[in-house]
Amino acid sequence: MPRVRRPTTAAPAGDSLFGAAARGRGEPLAARMRPRSLDEVVGQEALLGDGRPLRLMLERRAIGSMILWGPPGSGKTTLAGLIAAHTDRAFVPFSAVTEGVARVREIVAAAADRWQAEGRGTILFVDEIHRFNRGQQDAFLPHVESGTVTLVGATTENPSFELVGALLSRARVFVLAPLAPPDVAALIRRALGDAERGLGALGLRADDDAVALLAEHADGDARRALTALEAAADVLGPGGHLTADAARDALQRRVPRYDKGGEEHFNLISAYHKALRGSDPQGALYWLARMIEGGEDPMYIARRTVRFAAEDVGLADPDALRLAVAARDAYQFLGSPEGELAIAEAAVYLAAAPKSNRVYAAWKAALAAARDSPAAGVPLHLRNAPTGLMRELGYGAGYQYAHDAPEGYAPQEYLPEVLRGATFYAPGPFGFERKVAERLAWWDGLRERLASPAGDGERGPRGTPGPPEPHVAGENGPAQVVPPNAPDPHSETPP
């Protein structure tokens, strides 16, 4: 929308955010219907209800520096206009999209002059404040700190990610929620009945299901709902009948709420991971589809799916990682949309698979141990000895070659002295890790037997049975790996 630029003077309190010259029938419906008072505001009860913090600030004209954070169409610009109407300070609008730091310096200089000459403060409203980089945001700090200006910023992006901490510490953050469908419907009804600013003069008739469809498909964005309503009115003309089909035509395609570089990117991938971890294939498929529809790179999702297989399924089902990698390769080979089905297949498999993070926990513990003992020497018997000097120094001395033992195993220490006896990995009770636990128990038993005083006498001939091999119970699929002669796989008693 056009905005009257006043380089050195502020917009009068109570004037439109974009200046009186911008008002009129030439404005879009959403701009014309912008609330002019607190009583006209619909929704945001948590902020503007009786006794709520932002309403009290406005009623008492005690405006402090603040950040208004919310999705498009939730009322950030409306609140900025109400702030202008509820203060005796100069109100200066500023857009981070079209203006830069040089303009900020002009505003600050004018604010300082205004304070000295009139004793009157200045409120600087910065729309799309997240568009400023961190260095540009720092330009506000000394002036907010000194009180030369009171900063009111508006952003659709998470301030924790997009704004510098020093700025956040000097401003309150008010979170605006998407408008609920009943609130959006109320705004649509108001626009249909308002003959001065809305569409009341057209005499449109609107079906309840048409209004409900517009409200629902706006996804909490009042501007989108009113824009679609205006488009429908342009087609229908005076006295027209707004039906659900007409509303659907005006809306066109429902736009996904997604930003590959913003908070929704992290919210949706988090929801996808948690649905997989929670063994819910329905949720996993939905959040996967939301990301694909929102324009996310499927290869990013495929990489995260591979990571999930290793981190959250692990050895409870070794096939999970193989399938996830295969899905990634299939997508890389097929591309969209055909390759997306491979990722969906992997998602369902991972959601249904038994879960274990024991290898993930073991790896973190091993990394922590490596950081805590970065200079621990390799025991001499584990060192390679390619030269005579190294052999003379004891490198490799005492190492037992496992294949020379009848059992194909020689008990010896494989950790440095400072970590002797440490345990990083302990298998879990689900899926294939039950078999891993049996194997490790077998090795531990063999180690104890061979290390006992009578161990040498108990050695068997070469070919002594090794650790149990896995056996797949066919009815339970590859995720249910059990030892030979296992009990009925449908029994409630674990093997």
pLDDT the model gives residue 256: 62
pLDDT the model gives residue 252: 75
The pTM (predicted TM-score) of the whole model is 0.62
| Distance, CA of 228 to CA of 226 (rounded, Å) | 5
Calculate the alpha carbon distances from 210 to 194, 223, 241, 245, 251 in Å.
Answer: 18, 17, 10, 8, 11
| Distance, CA of 142 to CA of 228 (rounded, Å) | 43
Gyration radius from the chain CA atoms: 34
| Amino acid occupying residue 122 | T
DSSP annotation string for 193-254: H-TTTSSGGGT-EE-HHHHHHHHHHTTT-HHHHHHHHHHHHHHH-TT-EE-HHHHHHHH-SP
Calculate the alpha carbon distances from 410 to 329, 448, 457 in Å.
Answer: 40, 11, 15
| Amino acid occupying residue 397 | A
Cis peptide before 337 (omega within 30 of 0): yes
Structure tokens at 144: 């907010």
220: left (phi over 0), alpha (psi -120 to 50) or beta: left
- Say which residues have a Cβ less than 8 Å from residue 170's Cβ, sequence separation at least 6: 65, 141, 144, 145, 151
Task: Say how far residue 235 (Cα) sits from the centre of its chain.
Answer: 39
Residue 487 CB coordination number (10 Å)? 10
* 342-370 per-residue burial string, b: 16 or more CB within 10 A, e: under 16: bbbebbebbbbbbbbbbbebbbeeeeebe
| E-state strands within 99-144 | 122-127
| Distance, CA of 187 to CA of 197 (rounded, Å) | 12
Structure tokens at 429: 């009770």
pLDDT the model gives residue 143: 87
User: For 360-377, what is the HEC assignment?
Assistant: HHHHHHHHHHHHHCCCCC
- Cross-strand bridge partners of residue 124: 92, 151
Task: Say how far residue 283 (Cα) sits from the centre of its chain.
Answer: 16
pLDDT the model gives residue 3: 37
Q: What angle do CA 51, 56, 60 make, to 5 degrees?
A: 140
- Say which residues have a Cβ less than 8 Å from residue 373's Cβ, sequence separation at least 6: 416, 418, 419
CA nearest to 314, candidates 433, 461, 220, 221: 433
The pairs formed by 93-99 with CB atoms below 8 angstroms and a separation of 24 or more are 93/3, 93/11, 93/17, 93/18, 93/125, 93/127, 94/124, 94/125, 94/126, 94/127, 95/3, 95/126, 95/127, 95/128, 96/126, 96/127, 96/128, 96/129, 96/130, 96/131, 96/132, 97/127, 97/128, 97/131
| Distance, CA of 397 to CA of 385 (rounded, Å) | 9
Per-residue tens of pLDDT for the chain, all 495 residues:
333 333 333 444 444 443 433 334 578 999 899 988 888 888 888 888 888 888 888 888 888 899 999 988 888 888 888 887 888 888 888 888 877 788 888 888 999 998 888 888 888 888 889 888 888 888 888 888 888 888 999 998 889 888 888 888 889 999 999 999 999 999 999 999 999 999 999 999 999 999 999 999 888 899 999 999 999 998 899 999 999 999 988 887 665 666 666 678 888 999 999 999 999 999 999 999 999 988 889 999 999 999 999 999 999 999 999 999 999 999 999 999 999 999 999 999 999 999 999 999 999 999 999 999 998 999 999 999 899 898 888 999 999 999 998 888 888 999 999 999 899 999 999 999 999 999 999 999 998 888 776 555 444 444 455 566 654 433 344 444 333 333 343 333 333
pLDDT the model gives residue 468: 64
| Distance, CA of 298 to CA of 304 (rounded, Å) | 10
